[in-house]
Copies of this chain bind each other. A is one copy, B any other.
Amino acid sequence: MSATDRQVADRLHSAAIHLLRHVRTVDSKSGLTASRLSALSVIVFGGPISISELAEAEQVRPPTISRLVKELEWEGLVSRQRDTRDRRVIRIRATSKGKRLLFEGRERRVAKLAERVAGLSPDERERLAEAAATLERFSLPADHPLS
C-alpha cells in the first residue's frame, strides 16, 4: 500500500462524506432517506429477496434491515411473504407504490447532484463522468445486485 493509495483513499473518503451531506438536504420532501432508497432499490431490482440477503447486499447487520423493512412495509412500499420451502425465511418484494417512490425519490436526490454536475465545464464534466464510472466499479462489492 503506497502513500499515493492513502491519498487517493483519503480523497474518496472526504468526498463521500460531503456528497452525502449535500444530497441529504432534499430528503425532507421525499420521505426517503439514503438507507431506504438504497435498500428499496435492491428490493426493486433484486427481485424477491430475504432479510439476510438484503443485509449482506447492504453491508449491514440483519436487525438493521429487519427494522428498515418493517418501516418500509408500514408505509406500503414493500410486502413480505413467508417462503413455502423454508418457513424461516421471508421474501420481500416492492409494491407498485414502492417502485414508483423509488424512482421519484432517487430522482430528487440525484437531481440535486446533477444540478452541480450540469454546472461544470464540458471538460470537467467529461472527467467526472469517467470518475463516476471508475468509482462505481470500485465501490460495488461485485455481488451487489444493483444500487
Query: Would you call B117 and A5 a contact (CB within 8 A)?
Result: yes
Is A89's beta carbon under 8 Å from chain B?
Answer: no
* Residues on the B chain within 8 Å of A135, using CB: 11-12, 15, 128, 131, 135
21 A-B pairs within 8 Å (CB atoms) are namely A1-B115, A6-B110, A6-B114, A7-B132, A8-B117, A8-B128, A8-B129, A9-B110, A9-B116, A9-B132, A11-B136, A12-B128, A13-B19, A13-B20, A13-B109, A14-B139, A18-B139, A18-B141, A18-B147, A21-B59, A124-B138
Contact A17-B5, Cβ < 8 Å, known A11-B135, A135-B11, A135-B131: no
Which residues from chain A sit less than 8 Å from chain B, CB to CB? 1-2, 4-23, 34, 38, 58-60, 106-107, 109-118, 120, 124-125, 127-141, 144, 147
Query: Would you call A18 and B59 a contact (CB within 8 A)?
Result: yes
Query: Would you call A133 and B11 a contact (CB within 8 A)?
Result: yes
